[in-house]
Amino acid sequence: MAAVAEPAPVLTASQSPASVAPSADDRAAERARIDASARTPVLLFFLTALGWLLIATFFGFIGSYKLQSPEFLADWPIYTYGRVIPAFNACFAYGWCSLAGMGVAIWLMARLCKAEVKFPGALIFGALFWNFGLGLAVVGILIGENTGLEMMAIPRPAAWMMFIGYLFVGITGAALYRQRKHSTVFISVWYLLGAFFWFPWLFFTAHVLLGQPQLQGVMQNVVAAWFANGLNNYWFTAIGLAAAYYLIPKVIDRPIHSYNLASIGFWSWAIFGGLTAMTKLSGGPVPAWLVTLSISSQIMLLIPLVTVGKNFFKTMEGNHHMIYHSPTVRFAFFGAVIFVIATAINILASLRGADSIVHFTLFGTATNDLLLYSFYSMVMFGAIYYITPRLVGCEWLSAGMIRLHFLGSAYGGATAVAVMLCSGIAAGMRGLDPDAQFSQILYNTGAYLPGRMIGLVLVTIGHTAFGLHFLLMLLRIGQPAGQPTLFVSPGEEDQH
């Protein structure tokens, strides 16, 4: 059952393993060379991502607690709610999500294109620059230097510094693609290539446009909404799906169910996913057609929802026992299921009737958390569990710690999101009644907040376990290489 160590790359439905002739030893040696070339930068991405994840957890905790106890840390300006929340967003989206994503994307690209990273130093430089820029951004927000634009709150100089850091990563990614050894391009590579190009275009365009005096008034909010939506769909989701498309077939050792479905899923996501942004401004001071167009595009996301979802479920069919064995599959498949759920909720919530109820409530925060945490972050966790042993040369020390991480992140995250979804619906329904006291609506929905705190405590436990485990891996404290750390070894399961 050493599926993870299986040497033959399970890539496409069409590509037969026999088409690449080298012996198993040659292929293993090639993979070792590729991993060695990517080792230092990818581990640096993971390590710094984890650091930001822990900082984000801390800010998330403070922010959430302040919603129910506004007197908590009230006399510290840097911890006021309006600064903690953008700081949390920056640490989470640009720290954890982006850095983990870049590490995973570079490693996947190198492996899938069978190309070595020529200039690991460039990646290290990029990672350091990004981290430095982000550090400045978070400090800037905490001392009150946010831009005033909710979805692009990072101070502009810090944002440009991060962008320069990214360029080293993006160029490396594109270079790996150019060096690829075989002509068939695996579906994960489509998403990765998309992410590597979409992100800089999006980032550059949005930030340059915001510097133009012609972009007056509400157009700035339009650009910010477009940017935030692009970040979710063209950057995080693209990397998340790339990783899930790689990890699940690889670990369970069978090809993806249907390549045509994967292709339809990719293109429909690329086209409609880029047009859904203005549901964020539904009911707002923008032309009505813009919102209508975004709602229709949101509905069209049914196509990727069904095709991507069906592909994952069909690929897993008959292999669900792998969820009990392999940490990677458990995390990645959980993420894939949540991708389907999150997309479905986003479609439903964008419809005008539903939107007018939940639009200005915590519902929107919850759906964003669902996408970025319960889908994307879970897939990234799975990817890090898969990749790190290949870079450090030993396996994870303890299945128990991985299990603890999964319990905390999966159930804690789901609890926090579910509670916020409910509180959003409750507040929204109550808010329809103009005779309901506004403060009382919030006070009543405050009853949900302890549930969110419980979720966050679980998440914190999970992240702490993950952080410790990763540090042990960096110190090469783990199981001997060769056999992946599984939750249940196949022998044990037979006795059940």
**Residue 385 and residue 319: Cα distance in Å, rounded?**
19
Which of 79, 119 has the CB closer to another protein? 79
User: Least CB distance from residue 195 to another protein, whole Å?
Assistant: 9
User: Least CB distance from residue 494 to another protein, whole Å?
Assistant: 44
Tokens of 354: 């539903």
Burial class of 63 by CB neighbour count within 10 A (0 to 12, 13 to 18, 19+): buried
Task: Give yes or no for residue 316 binding another protein (CB under 8 A).
Answer: no
Which of 175, 185 has the CB closer to another protein? 185
Residue 227 CB neighbours (<10 A): 21
Task: Give yes or no for residue 211 binding another protein (CB under 8 A).
Answer: no
User: Least CB distance from residue 415 to another protein, whole Å?
Assistant: 20
Amino acid (one-letter) located at 398? S
Q: How many residues does the chain have?
A: 496
User: Least CB distance from residue 224 to another protein, whole Å?
Assistant: 8
Which of 210, 387 has the CB closer to another protein? 210
Considering only residues 168-187, where is the footprint of another protein by CB under 8 A? Answer: 183, 185
User: Least CB distance from residue 183 to another protein, whole Å?
Assistant: 7
Task: Give yes or no for residue 215 binding another protein (CB under 8 A).
Answer: yes
User: Going along 73-181, which residue ranges are E strands?
Assistant: none
Per-residue mark of binding to another protein, 228-267 (x: CB under 8 A): --x---x--------------------------------x
**Residue 273 and residue 124: Cα distance in Å, rounded?**
31
Angle between helices 449-474 and 413-431 (to 10 degrees): 150
Task: Give yes or no for residue 148 binding another protein (CB under 8 A).
Answer: yes
Task: Give yes or no for residue 68 binding another protein (CB under 8 A).
Answer: yes
In 3D space, the residue among 133, 124, 268 whose CA is nearest the CA of residue 191 turns out to be 268
Which residues contact residue 115 at a Cβ distance below 8 angstroms, ignoring those fewer than 6 apart?
Answer: 34, 109, 175, 176, 177, 179, 180, 181
Which of 201, 324 has the CB closer to another protein? 201
Q: Which stretch binds another protein (CB under 8 A): 19-27, 40-48, 201-209, 461-469?
A: 201-209
Coil/strand/helix, residue 260: helix
How far, in Å, are 70, 82, 122, 354 from residue 75 at the CA level? 10, 13, 43, 38
Task: Give yes or no for residue 124 binding another protein (CB under 8 A).
Answer: no
Binds another protein by CB under 8 A, chosen from 360, 454, 468, 479: 360
CB 90 within 8 A of CB 79: no
User: Least CB distance from residue 236 to another protein, whole Å?
Assistant: 16
Which of 195, 384 has the CB closer to another protein? 195
CB 397 within 8 A of CB 485: yes
Binds another protein by CB under 8 A, chosen from 190, 203, 376, 386: 190
Binds another protein by CB under 8 A, chosen from 22, 82, 157, 490: 82
Which of 119, 267 has the CB closer to another protein? 267
**Residue 314 and residue 332: Cα distance in Å, rounded?**
15
User: Least CB distance from residue 114 to another protein, whole Å?
Assistant: 16
Per-residue mark of binding to another protein, 361-380 (x: CB under 8 A): xx-xx---------------
User: Least CB distance from residue 103 to another protein, whole Å?
Assistant: 22
**Partners of 480 in beta bridges:** 394
Burial class of 81 by CB neighbour count within 10 A (0 to 12, 13 to 18, 19+): middle
Amino acid (one-letter) located at 276? T
Burial class of 321 by CB neighbour count within 10 A (0 to 12, 13 to 18, 19+): middle
Query: What kind and span of H or E run contains 480?
Result: strand 479-480
Task: Give yes or no for residue 495 binding another protein (CB under 8 A).
Answer: no
Binds another protein by CB under 8 A, chosen from 7, 17, 70, 400: 70
Considering only residues 427-446, where is the footprint of another protein by CB under 8 A? Answer: 431-440, 442-443, 446
Q: Which stretch binds another protein (CB under 8 A): 107-115, 206-214, 340-348, 395-403?
A: 206-214
Task: Give yes or no for residue 217 binding another protein (CB under 8 A).
Answer: yes
Task: Give yes or no for residue 205 binding another protein (CB under 8 A).
Answer: yes
Considering only residues 454-493, where is the footprint of another protein by CB under 8 A? Answer: none
Residue 201 CB neighbours (<10 A): 12
Q: Which stretch binds another protein (CB under 8 A): 10-18, 28-36, 156-164, 425-433?
A: 425-433
User: Least CB distance from residue 340 to another protein, whole Å?
Assistant: 21
**Residue 315 and residue 336: Cα distance in Å, rounded?**
12
Binds another protein by CB under 8 A, chosen from 18, 21, 23, 75: 75
Binds another protein by CB under 8 A, chosen from 255, 274, 393, 451: 274
Binds another protein by CB under 8 A, chosen from 46, 94, 96, 198: 198
CB 272 within 8 A of CB 297: yes
Burial class of 280 by CB neighbour count within 10 A (0 to 12, 13 to 18, 19+): buried
